[in-house]
Structure 1
Amino acid sequence: MHSSRSSRGGVSLARLLVQPESTCFRFARQPVIDGSVEPMGTELCFRWSERLRRTPPPSPYATSLLLSQALLDGGLVHRRPGCLFIEMDAVTLLSPIADVLCGELGAIQLPAGVPVQEATTRRVAQLHARGYRFALAGVAAPDDPRLSWLPMLSFVKLDVSLAPVSAWAAVQERVRRGPAVLIADQLTEPGDYLRLKALGLRYFQGELLMPPQEEAPRPLPNCDLDTLQRLFRLARQGAPHEALAMTAAADPALVIRLLMLHRLHAHGATPRTLTDTVAALPEPVLIGWLHVLRSSTFDLGPNSQSWSHAVREQIYNYRARLIGARVCDSPAELEAKVFDLYRRLCSRDALT
């Protein structure tokens, strides 16, 4: 079913050309291998529907769908994929979306098309100073201008399909001057693998080792776009955590995602209230994820509407019973008890 609403800010034309059902989207993952049982890392790529079967270039829209599909709907981060490599073009890098990929989650992968300009260099430096990691993809020569970012890079990917054999050692020597780990990427030939091993490379990625594996995760219930817009606006304005939590509580599908984001980004104790959940997320990360969700959420379908209505009704009735029974000594205790039910109703496990 196509959306009946007018297009929202930040929504690309591509969204209007594809059937807005989250089940038609998929993602692919390809491991970075070092010989261990578990991969050192996993590169993620967005895919359109199986019917279209193509990989779009990185863009804010495609990256938002990828992050939402893989990390929230697919729960990939809980399957021990190692460092996640997620490609971002210059527009995405300069947007709040880049704030989502904190250092502990993965690395922002910069493709060949990202220009070495003042704005991009400043953004890389700012995020690097906050602990974010970067990977440089598509390197084929030691004089690649993007290697000026080498002091801020954690990974450099040598594109074996583009780089001549004579340039491999020179790229390796250039990378040794910085802190980055060199990865041999786009491997398709056994001979290339043996030559690179002889040079001392440890990490490899490509069709030779494992082709990209596609996944189409079962989607979470859709968020309410109006609630998302209000919450995004309040977060950008620096509203108190209590106001953010009160707004988010109106949409159970949004609460699911906030609970998952708490698990992704806040490794402390289980939150007692929705306010605690929101407060535990760094402000740039919260704003970045709300930006992602605005582009990756479509209008509520009948199933999502029915589920959301049922959850809200249970919460309302439970709150009324607690107030009527006078079992809570304070408003804080009441909110904690209500949130405990909310958390159980909106857990990922409750939906499977």
Structure 2
Amino acid sequence: MTNYAIDEDTGTLLRIWPTGRGQCAAVVCTLPAAAAVDDWLRLAAALTSLSDALWRCYTHPGLSTDDRDGNGEGWRREQSRESFSQLVGFLREPNLPGEDGAILESYDPVEEGAHRVGRALRALDDVKLLEEVSRDVAAEIEAVESAERGDLGGRAQQAVVLSRTDVSPVQVAAADGVLALDPLNGEHLFVDVDPTAASVAAAHWLKAAADVVAEVSGMPAHRVLIAADDIEALPVETPSEVLELFNFSNTAYGVVVEMVREAMEIGAGSVADIGALLVEHDTGDDNDDSDAEATPVRLTLLDPRRPALDLLEDLLTGIRGCRLVYEEYVEASDVASTDTQFCEAVRMEARKNYTRLM
């Protein structure tokens, strides 16, 4: 999301947003010199909160839920998304305190966020500021809409650091194209592609790489990364789990989106199925010592603060791990020849199973 800040030395409002390589910053406008600094800060905080609410509509689309009927979570998300066209109007005509001091507040966080920006602008009472902030909010809304379409150019590039509970087929295709060029180099995925979509493509290519190694080595595909870890210390738990999950899902989309969604829910403080979690971690020993120190339970393999990026990093490492094992079973004159031979074999396997992506 975009963060807003004030520069007291120059009296300007700044916007700061991530790109995947680092943070970018730009001046939104000059603030009224006669206004109190607290009023400047209140405007910056309100704009940051509004951007957070806007981008949550991108990361948590209504289509990714099962309860889109009246008052369900999916329905509420869709209501938030449908309010986009009204937001600039709320900046100009926000809900204001009545004679008794009470304010009508919206249950919709996006709509209420726009009203709060509007009230902060009213306190500053500057027509030029209102116009400039309105243009910036309109540009932020367009960035979210652009990301939804799968176009991550301009300000929409900040989507590359966000985890999403669904994917754009356009973004999956873009990520697949990056890995088709070089399965061992997915660096561009971190700056050009939504990480959940990139993880879908990376899971597909990891499965292709593991199947290639399984063919030349004779070992099961889901054991390939365990063998790689014997050659070089690698974070193999997550990519190995992905390979296991392909036994229960026909698509990389199904595997990845479920993992990311579950980690996002845990990050938000909820566990989808506590019963299944208890069964998974049940030792089966009814005579456990009640005085013994409790063993911490890991609720998700992914970092809940950045699950899609964490997954993408591990999947790309998994592909390189497959390459380590491949080298043990084939004859090649040098490292470059092994890389070329491995990549070509993986490309053929990935093309053969292209429908596995979505």
TM-score by length of 1: 0.26
- Considering only CA atoms, is the larger Rg found in Structure 1 or Structure 2? 2
Structure with bigger helix share is 2
Hey, which of these two has a bigger chunk of strand by percent?
Answer: 1
